Amino acid sequence: MNDIPPLIPPFRFTIVEEGLFRGAYPSLKNFRFLRRLRLRTLVTLSENPASRDLTEFCENESISLLRYDVPKCEENVVIRPEMAAQILAVLINVENLPLFLHCRDGGHNTGLIIMLLRRLQNWSQSTIYDEFTRYTKGADIYRDESAYVESFKEEIHLPKIIPPWLWQGQPLQSHPVMKLTGTQTLEPDSSEAEVLWTPSTVKGTSSGIVHPGGVPIALAEPAMKVYTSPFEQWAQLHEKFLEFVERSKQDSKKSSRKFTESLTVRALLSPGRSGLAIAKKQPSIEGLSLEALEPSY
């Protein structure tokens, strides 16, 4: 009997709010854990292109992948206010949740965005800074970072529907310390995000990522293959086999023949690849058995 591989969360992983998670750059060993979050969107804060493993994981799981060009933090803020406002607008749009936000190590850059989110939620400054330092090396917060949060005045475009953990789901007309604006003033092409992959419109959605202004991002058909989720494939296969068994039993009754063939199917999943394969077929056991192996990420 094979041992089930452990569920390993990304470094500095934590739950920010219901449906909103943060952490460091995920690797292959973290994908089984992330799959269980049933993510709809993954936001990357990095100046480097997304890894092939991460891109293929998002393709396989139908997760929209969005990258913002953010350099490594070197004791100073590297996220421009207009970009930070765009990222916030993505985070507070319920159509993008569940969402995982990450940078290289899940520390300063990710933490800066979360500090702005907490300020939007009307948290006190001391509480905001206390949370921030839990996820930085040496529990440090740079003077530039605290000043950035306190002086942040960029307009934040509110989506039509916000999550219940933000102002109890009721959009505010004004905010004590931050500027808010409606969705109708934002141009659809003004986002600085690089959309690396999003579910195709052929699957019934206009786009997996909703633009900060509430407008779905218009994309050409992806050049890469549009994958069906491995678990969707498994469910479809399972349903087909159940139908096959029922038909076989009915045929057996009509012809007075017993159904004696057994088919064992394993779902073979490996990093960077999605697919189902028939492992073996043996006609010696009566009935039908379906054996599914968990992905080995």
Known catalytic residues are: 103
Whether the Cβ atoms of residue 140 and residue 73 lie closer than 8 Å to each other: no
What span, in angstroms and rounded, lies between the C-alpha atoms of 262 and 255? 19
In sequence order, the 6+-apart residues with CB closer than 8 A to the CB of 216 are 206, 207, 209, 210
In sequence order, the 6+-apart residues with CB closer than 8 A to the CB of 191 are 86, 211, 212, 217
What span, in angstroms and rounded, lies between the C-alpha atoms of 148 and 78? 10
